[in-house]
Amino acid sequence: MRLERRHFLAALAAMSSSNCSYASPSPKARSEYLAKAGETTSYLIAWTDFKSRYIQKDGRVVDNGNGGISHSEGQGYALVLAELAGDREIFDRVWNWTDKNLAQQNKALFIWRFDPNASDPLADPNNATDGDILIAWALGRAAARWQNSAFESHAAATRAAIAGDLVLARERLLLLPAAHGFVHEDRIVLNLSYYIWPALSEFAEREPKGPWTKIMEDGLWLLGQSRFGGHQLPSDWISYLDGKVTGPAPGWEPRFGFDAVRIPLYLGLSGLQGRAQHIIDFWRSYFVKGNIPPAWVDVKSGAMAEYALSYGASTYASLLAGVGTDVTAEVQHNYYSAVLNCFSRLLSRMA
């Protein structure tokens, strides 16, 4: 039975309260907490470092750990972080480059990858759902902060495109990773790190008749079903068929890794980290011994990376594990770690 929105949000708060140190407030209150977190000194320091290293003068966000490419995810992250810092100059610069270079022509989604070194920088015109969600989230927040109707028009159009092109109604509402390439006869491939919980909560607040509450409800169910191997961890990519999660998705390494480590972060930013308690407990088992958790775990074989979580990931992992913020990981000047570090500073204010 589909839950009414008010009942679902109340249930989320209750579940979070029973599994963590603080209860989950309403999406509106959570949004306001995020805004206040963006005003803290630690966040502004992290943001200033990020923008100086990874955002070009033209507004392109450079992924220096991936050959210097740009992608809709990176542009979306920068937009979210700029809005939270109240940095209108950088926000406009990043948005103008994104709109000019990545906007699809036939719908309000964004091309996922831009490679400046290729003869055709936009060779793959497919989108990436997490990038689209981040961009729509940032634009909606920016519209409210700076009273800009054009931003809200773009945000609403992208939310509509996500709902229309990226949500698949089967036994449950499934959030596809992209418009093309993930629906097969024998499986539907999903990525739970694309469920950006604080964004989806704000979408539901703005559009109570939209699919967002049901997407969140079913996303939590998917997470609960995606517990693999001895440590009961989700893999980056999972397979779904006929109402069931069937395991890690074929074609990808069966790892709890680069993608899935963001799941507890996004849940934590929404006050729902109790739903990832099994992941947090796994991380805590390392921190309490003075170690940093491995960067990835093969959920089938049990093999683990010989290197640790990045500085950014280990920072929020230690916060969620309740062991403080004094991680000993080396600070990497790496785009992805820097993004996660910025979000960690938001989480430290909210926890």
Which positions are annotated as active-site residues? 130
CA–CA separation, 324 and 311 (whole Å): 14
Secondary structure (3-state) at 265: helix
Neighbouring CB atoms inside 10 A of 322's CB total 13
Tokens of 275: 């739903």
- The answer to whether 129 and 175 have CB atoms below 8 angstroms apart is yes
Closest CA to 75 of 90, 60, 64, 96: 60
CA–CA separation, 67 and 57 (whole Å): 19
Sign of torsion over alpha carbons 173, 174, 178, 182: negative
- The answer to whether 182 and 176 have CB atoms below 8 angstroms apart is yes
What stretches of 55-148 show up as alpha helix (H) in DSSP? 72-85, 88-101, 129-146
CA–CA separation, 200 and 30 (whole Å): 12
**Strand pairing report for 297-298 and 173-175:** unpaired
State residue 247 phi and psi, 5-degree precision.
135, -175
CA angle 17, 22, 25 (to 5 degrees): 80
Secondary structure (3-state) at 147: coil
CA–CA separation, 85 and 87 (whole Å): 5
State residue 346 phi and psi, 5-degree precision.
-70, -45
